[in-house]
Amino acid sequence: MINGLKPYPAMKESGVPWLGQVPEHWDVGRLKRICKFAYGDALSSDVRTFGDVPVLGSNGRVGSHTVTNTIAPCIVIGRKGSFGKITYSDEPVFAIDTTFFVDRRFTDADIRWLSYLLGWLQLDEISKDSAIPGLDREDAYKSVVIVPSMDEQHSIVRFLDHADWLIRRYIAAKRKLIKLLEEQKQAIIHHAVTRGLDPSVALKPSGVRWLGEVPEHWAVRRGKYYFREVDERSRDGTEELMSVSHKTGVTPRSEKNITMFMAESYVGHKLCRPDDIVVNTMWGWMAAVGVAKKVGIVSPSYGVYRARRTDEFRSQYLDLLLRTEVYRSEYVRSSRGITTSRLRLYPEDFLQISFVRPPLDEQDAILHSVESETSELNRAIGAANHEVTLFQEYRTRLIADVVTGKLDVRAAAAALPDMLEMEAPEATEPLEEEIAGSPEIETETEETA
C-alpha cells in the first residue's frame, strides 16, 4: 500500500521538536486557525422521534431522530464520556450535548481531511483533572497542526479513503472468521453445560420451556434457591475497580478504556468477592454477567449474588453457563423497560431464572472437556484478533505519516480508481472494538444515551 511512496522533495523544520520536519510549503499553526468546535444540543431519549436521522453521542450512534442539527458532511467529537473520539458522517446527523461537531459552517478545510487530522491529534489524551474527564475545546484549539493546500487535502483524502477501504475489507473478512469461530466455540460450550458429555444418558423435561431437556439426574431450580443478593460496601475504596462484559465476564477495569462511574472516592461503593455472580443491571439483557475471580469494586447499580452453599457449583462452570445464548435470551425476557436501551435486569427477576446444575464431578469433567475442545479455536481466534490489531495499528501509523507530511501521496492518489467503482467492504462498523452501546466500554451515561 505504501510501496513507492517517498518523502516530499523539500522539507523544513516545523519548530516543534516532537513533529520534526514538515513539507516546505505546508503551514504550521494551531487548530483554532482552521476550525471551530460547535456544541451539540440536548436531546433526551424520551423526546426523540424515531426517524432516519442518526443521533450521535460521544461514542458514536445512540439512536435516531427526525431533525438534524448539522450539515453534511460533518465530524462529531466526543466532549464527555468517550471524549476526543472522532466520528465522521457523510449525512447530516443530530449531535447531542455530550459532543462537539464541525461542518462547513465552522471550517474552510476539507471535512474528511479534517477528520483524519483530528484522529491523529489524539484528543482523547487532553482532559481536565476531574472526577468525570472531558474535552475542553480551548485546550483542543491549542493543538499544533500542519495544513496543506486544499488540492493536497483532497489528494490525502483520496489516498487515505482508498487505504481505509482496503483495511476495512480485510478486517471485515477477519471479523467474519472470528464470528464463525466464536459460534463454533459457543456451540461446544452450550451443549456441554446444558446437555453434558454422555450422548447416551437419559434426558428429562427441565420444566423450563426455553431450557428444554436436560440429563435426568441433573437438578434445575430457580436462582433464588441457589443464590442470594448481597450488598457489601467498600470501607476504604482501595479495592480494584471491576467491569462486567458480555464478552469477558468480570475483569479489572484497568484492562479497558472505561470512564463511566468515575468518582473521586469509591468509599461506600459495592464490593464483589471471589465466586460472586455480578450482573451489570443496565446491560444484563446483553449477557453482561460473570463470576468474579477476586475482590473488587463494582458500580452501586450492579447486582451481586453469592451462593447459599459452596458445594453446588464450580465458579468456572457458572461463568460459562451464564453467557450461553439460551441464558442471554432469557435475560432479555426477564428484563424490564420500554425499549432495548432502557432494559434493566433487576435482582428479583434475575433470581427467578432457572439454573441447571450437574453433579460437581460432571462439572469438573465438563470444564476439562470444554478447555480441551476449544483450545485450538481459542488460538485461532487469538491469532485473527492479533491480525486485526496489527492492521488497526498500521492504519493509525499510515494516517499519521500522511497527515504530517512524512509521505507524499499526491501521485499515488491521482493514480487510484474512483471509489464509486469499487465494491463496498462487507462491514461498516468501527475499526476498533469500541462500538456504541456496548457494556465493553460503558461510556455513555443513562441521561444521554
Q: Which of 45-54, 406-415, 438-447 has the lowest mean pLDDT?
A: 438-447
- Whether the per-residue pLDDT at 214 is higher than 70: the answer is yes
**Residue 433: what pLDDT?**
46
Closest by CA position to 33, among listed 122, 110, 109, 136: 109
- Whether the per-residue pLDDT at 199 is higher than 80: the answer is yes
Q: What is the dihedral sign for C-alpha 237, 243, 248, 250?
A: positive
Closest by CA position to 407, among listed 3, 8, 123: 8
Q: For 173-202, what is the mean pLDDT?
A: 96
Residue appearing with cell numbers 491480525: 387
How far apart CA 300 and CA 328 sit, in angstroms, is 22
**Residue 418: what pLDDT?**
76
Q: Which of 193-207, 313-327, 425-439 has the lowest mean pLDDT?
A: 425-439
Grid cell at residue 135:
474535552
pLDDT band at 45 (very low <50, low <70, confident <90, very high): confident
Closest by CA position to 443, among listed 124, 172, 129: 124
DSSP conformation letters of 16-74? -TTT-EEETTSEEEEGGGTB-PEEPB---GGG---SSEEEEETTEEEEEES--SS-SSE
pLDDT band at 316 (very low <50, low <70, confident <90, very high): very high
HSE-CB at 292 with a 13 A cutoff on CA atoms is 27
**Residue 61: what pLDDT?**
92
Q: Which residue has the higher pLDDT, 153 or 425?
A: 153
Q: Which residue has the higher pLDDT, 124 or 198?
A: 198
Q: For 187-202, what is the mean pLDDT?
A: 96
- Cis amide leading into 148 (omega within 30): no
Phi, psi of 318 (to 5 degrees): -60, -40
**Residue 436: what pLDDT?**
36
Top CATH class of 197-357 equals alpha beta
- Whether the per-residue pLDDT at 338 is higher than 60: the answer is yes
pLDDT band at 132 (very low <50, low <70, confident <90, very high): low
How far apart CA 361 and CA 358 sit, in angstroms, is 8
pLDDT band at 421 (very low <50, low <70, confident <90, very high): low
Grid cell at residue 298:
463494582
Bridge-based pairing state of the strands 94-95 and 53-57: parallel
* Predicted confidence (pLDDT) per residue in 67-88, tens digit: 999 999 999 999 988 889 999 9
**Residue 255: what pLDDT?**
54
Q: Which residue has the higher pLDDT, 119 or 420?
A: 119
How far apart CA 244 and CA 386 sit, in angstroms, is 23
Render the burial of 193-227: b for 16+ CB within 10 Å, e for the rest: bbbbeeeeeeeeebebeebeebbeebeeeebbebb
Q: For 223-251, what is the mean pLDDT?
A: 94
pLDDT band at 128 (very low <50, low <70, confident <90, very high): low
**Residue 247: what pLDDT?**
85
Q: Are 437 and 430 in contact (CB under 8 A)?
A: no
How far apart CA 375 and CA 318 sit, in angstroms, is 19
How far apart CA 80 and CA 414 sit, in angstroms, is 39
* Predicted confidence (pLDDT) per residue in 20-40, tens digit: 999 999 999 999 999 999 999
Whole-number average pLDDT of the chain: 89
End-to-end CA distance of the chain: 39
> pTM for the complete prediction?
0.79
Q: Are 243 and 442 in contact (CB under 8 A)?
A: yes
How far apart CA 432 and CA 351 sit, in angstroms, is 35
